[in-house]
Amino acid sequence: MTLDITGLKVSIGGKDVLRGVDLRLQEGRVHGLAGESGSGKTMTGLAVLGLLPHGSRTSGSVTLGGRELLTMAPRELNKIRGGEVAMVFQDPATSLHPMLTIGKQITEHMRHHLGLGKREARARAVELLGKVRIPGAEEACGRYPHQFSGGMRQRVAIAVALACSPKVLIADEPTTALDVTVQAGVLRLLRGLCDELGLAVLLVTHDLGVMSAVADEVSVMRDGLVVETGPRGRVLREPSHPYTRSLLDSLPDAQIEEGGR
């Protein structure tokens, strides 16, 4: 299933945050969205699921398999959220509820969206935790987020996102809050899941090294606009927009080469 974003405009409190964004996510492909802080990357991700802060106005179009999400009734949109389009947030230390067990947080929306019973949901949670390589998945279900390391927490958050077999995954800076040593593992996991499950992934990051490691397509944003989009190899090696070039020039030389698959 494809997710098409066309002419997406968002203003918050009268300030234009997105000024006409066009993006296309396809199944089995990782679409990297790069740009500096405040360029509108995160807002693009949030706008897809209608999770923008209060007082924001949205126009344009976001369609999932032909259905328009921006004007969808809240009840219908709630079925898409978590069910067909899932999100992974930047900091797993704050995006998981500290007082609920991992098992609860993986199974609650499964039971709601898929109508699973307690035991089926539990079995699937254990399977998912195994899939994101959490050791001792069975007993991990009964533990709380603070009993895991940062990297493990983000794997849990990914398992939570995958629980209802979504078609689209929006990952907002999923490795930024993690130690460099565990970043690669999480990225490899995301890439593997994308290939295995045929997910359409939007990978939001300000880190071009991360981008070059896993993305198939790359879009570069600046001031609420996509200034350049295309296959990873072309955008990162022969950037046509001066802004992309300046972003690449600001990196240490070796990083792109090393990060490439």
Partner 1 sequence: MARTLPPLARFLIRRVITAILLAWGITLVTFVLTNLVPGDPVAANLGQRAMNDPAIVAQWRAEHGLDKPLWEQYGLYLQGMLQGDLGTSQQSHRPVAQDLAEFVPATLELAGAAILVSLVLGVAFGVLAALRRDRLPDHVLRVLSLIGISVPTFWLALVAFYVFFYRLQITPGSGRVDPALGMAPGVTGLQTVDALIAGRWDVFTSAVGHLITPALVLALYTIGLLTRFTRSAVLEVLGQDYVRAARAKGLPGRTVLFRYVLRSALVPVITVAGLAFGSLLSGTVLVEAIFAWPGIGQYAYKSATTLDLPAVMGVGLVVGVVYLVINLIVDVLYGVIDPRVRLQ
Binding site for partner 1 (CB under 8 A): 49, 51, 78-83, 86-87, 89-91, 94-101, 108-109, 112-113, 144, 146-147, 157, 160
Output the smallest distance, CB 96 to partner 1, in A: 6
- Closest separation in Å from C-beta 91 to partner 1: 7
Residue closer to partner 1 (CB basis): 121 or 247: 121
Distances (CA, A) of 99 to 31, 81, 93, 143, 159: 34, 23, 12, 10, 18
Of the pair 90, 183, the CB lying nearest partner 1 is at 90
| Sign of the alpha-carbon torsion through 140, 141, 146, 150 | positive
Contacts of 182 (CB under 8 A, 6+ apart): 149, 150, 151, 154
Closest contact distance (angstroms) between CB of 105 and partner 1 is 9
- Cβ distance to partner 1 smaller for residue 121 or 213: 121
Q: What is the DSSP letter of 72?
A: -
165 or 255: CB nearest partner 1:
165
CB of 251 to partner 1, least distance (A): 29
Q: Where does the chain show beta strands of DSSP type E? A: 3-12, 15-25, 30-34, 56-64, 67-68, 85-88, 168-172, 200-204, 217-222, 225-231
Taking the least distance from each CB to partner 1, the nearer of 86 and 134 is: 86
Integer angstrom CA distances of residue 9 from 14, 16, 33, 44, 207: 12, 8, 17, 9, 24
Nearest approach, Cβ of 59 to partner 1 (angstroms)?
21
Q: Which is nearer to partner 1, 86 or 132 (CB)?
A: 86
d(CA 51, CA 53) in angstroms, rounded, equals 7
Q: Which is nearer to partner 1, 168 or 208 (CB)?
A: 168
Shortest distance, CB of residue 114 to partner 1, whole angstroms?
11
What is the smallest separation between the CB atom of 229 and partner 1, expressed in angstroms?
25
Taking residue 2's Cβ as centre, other Cβ atoms within 10 Å add up to: 15
d(CA 192, CA 234): 23
